Amino acid sequence: MSGSVTRFGILTSGGDCPGLNAAIRGVAKAASGMYGMEIVGIINGYRGLIDADTRTLSSGDFSGILTVGGTILGSSREKPFKVREQQPGGLQSDAAKRRSDADLGKDKPELIKKNIEALRLDALVVLGGNGTNTTAHLLAREGVNIIGLPKTIDNDIFGTDVSFGFHSAVDIASEAIDRLHSTANSHNRVMVIELMGHKAGWLALYAGIAGGGDIILIPEIPYTVSALARSLEKRRSEGKKFSIVVVAEGSMSEAEAALPKKERKKNRESMPWPSIGYRVASEIQSATGMETRVTVLGYLQRGGTPGAYDRVLATAFGTTAAEMLSKGIFGRMAAMVGSTITSIPLAEVADKTKTIPPDYPLLATAERVGTSFGN
């Protein structure tokens, strides 16, 4: 596919996050208003490209959505380059099983290319995280004109300093930690709050610092129970009767970190607690005798109105994508590098995760104010 863009498709894929509608608006208003392009909304992510489930977007569709949470286009976790995918733990709903069975034998990338041609789309703009932009790279290799935009509350997309959705999630998580302080103080408890972050601890680190967490556990720094106990007992000896422990969902002990990846995953799936936050709370209570409670923030981190920063960032990414369409620049993802909005090749983004480096300055910042990382 090549040539100038007069009509393009746009989709949102993967988990939702604040700022998706702001980014859709940024792309659409610039593409239609400045460049006169026609915009086709693809419903429910890559699944919509497979099923040809689309609708043409008019100005009324993307007016007034800057502050609206979620995505007007819907989303899915469809991965068209996988033949069959099961839900975590091998469990599937009846509907998911029927969908998987129906998909057997389909060449989804070929279906997508045929539908792109049938829909007369000159290009695609896809909004998503690591999986979405990896799929975008694979489609680019198949000859599809495609541009990626980085969204995730985890801030773990390689090649961009920040993704939209992250700062809003930090605000939400920080407010939750603030509210836990009063309860922890009233009842002289250790309060464990579990945040999202499977492989990277950006959200837990930023929210933990902003919320004054006494201990922050992140996947990049494995913890030991003995170190947790020492930190908490030190606080108690100093007359501090409560503590806040911020835990990223992908946090692991030093013993777990030493295991092969498959064995570590199996070990995590077989643990008797519903999530890592509960395990950490149990370990703390057993080691110290301190009364410990757990809060799992869960999907609250993803929802609601985007903060001001994410509205600006998503709009900037969106308008950058529109400019790239106008110039015929494809196979790249919009990115924030330093203080500049630019773009990087999707090949550099695909199958990579941006984790917190050992020398990241905020790690030292946290330690200087007495925060422990459980190591």
Question: Token digits for 49?
Answer: 């490209």
CA distances from 256 to 221, 250, 264 (A): 12, 11, 6
Q: What Cα–Cα distance (Å) separates residue 56 from each residue in 4, 43, 139?
A: 19, 11, 22
Residue 343 corresponds to which tokens in the numbers above? 């773009």
Taking the CB of residue 329, how many other CB atoms lie within 10 A of it? 15
Task: Report the alpha-carbon distance of residue 226 to residue 230 in Å, rounded.
Answer: 6
Residue type, 246: V
For residues 179 and 212, the answer to whether their CB atoms sit within 8 Å is: no
Question: What is the strand order of the sheet 54-57 is part of?
Answer: 54-57, 38-42, 7-12, 123-128, 146-150, 332-337, 340-345
Torsion 322-311-127-337 (CA) sign? positive
Q: Which of 154, 156, 214, 310 is catalytic?
A: 154
Is the distance from CB of 109 to CB of 44 less than 8 angstroms?
A: no
Let me know: does 326 contact 184? Beta carbons within 8 Å: no
Number of Cα atoms under 13 Å in the Cβ half of residue 150: 31
Give 48's contacts (C-beta < 8 A, 6+ positions apart): 11, 42, 54, 73, 74, 76
Could you give the CA distance from residue 138 to residue 147 in angstroms, rounded to a whole number? 12
Verify whether residue 154 is a known catalytic residue.
yes
Alpha carbons 186 and 182: distance in angstroms, whole number: 6
Residues belonging to the active site:
154
